[in-house]
Amino acid sequence: MGELLVEPSTAVHFKGPFYDASMSEVKLTNSYNNEQIAFKFLTTANTHFQVGPVYGLIKPGETLTVDILLQPLVDRHGRQTGGPFDRRKQKFMIKWRPVMRGEEIKTADDGSVEMKNVVNELFANVPPRKVQLSCVFDENPPPPPPPPQNVNSNNSGAAVQESGGFELQPLNAEVGITGAAKVAQKHSGAVDADSLDDMLQPEVIATLGVLLLAIIILNCIL
């Protein structure tokens, strides 16, 4: 046994704005191993929907695409065009049945197949099955997602973390090795002897200068 597989299976979506024509499609797949499927595609508003193909035969295992064109429903001022059209009542129906072995498919004198006549005659012999699809009109379809944002970097090596907005600056080369060590030691709480001597040397010079000045002043007074 097989089946006619319909995709989408429940509803056909049309995307606005509806002052322009909108396209959609329905895919029909024949899951039978040996039998063809005859189908007819029906709409509730022939003046607004253009469907192709309307009639057809689908070979076993093959998929056929039915294109649906929705004509503009309003003009650019929002006024309805094309006659009465209630969006809530719009539906599609697919009538179908398998073509059994031994059933004759009549052809025209030139060998071509009049698909409409073939399908209608097949349906007259055996009542077809029915699949119904609703219509959904997406007036404002969701916008596409924004492109992913990469972490920015410059030539000096600085980078911005998007999650927290913190800017990571590279160590300035002018600080030098000694300065870099002092920065690291400041945060760790440890200072080595060489660095301590470097830091105290200016203070010793200043103290000696004050003592020398005091001696000069005392000599002048005496």
Most confident range, picked from 130-134, 137-141, 167-171, 192-196: 130-134
Q: Is the same domain home to 98 and 189?
A: no
Q: Is the same domain home to 51 and 103?
A: yes
Most confident range, picked from 14-23, 137-146, 162-171: 14-23
CATH number of the domain within which 86 lies = 2.60.40.10
Degrees (nearest 5) of the Cα angle 80, 42, 130?
135
Q: Does the pTM exceed 0.75?
A: no
Residue 187 confidence (pLDDT)? 42
Looking at the predicted structure, is the pLDDT value of residue 81 above 90? no
- Helix 193-221, helix 176-188: angle, nearest 10: 100
Where in the sequence is the domain holding 131, given as residue range(s)? 4-138
What mean pLDDT is predicted for residues 121-131? Answer: 94
Assigned domain for 66 exists: yes
Q: Is the same domain home to 25 and 104?
A: yes
Show the beta-strand stretches assigned E in 55-160: 55-58, 63-70, 91-99, 129-138, 159-160
Into how many domains does the chain fold?
2
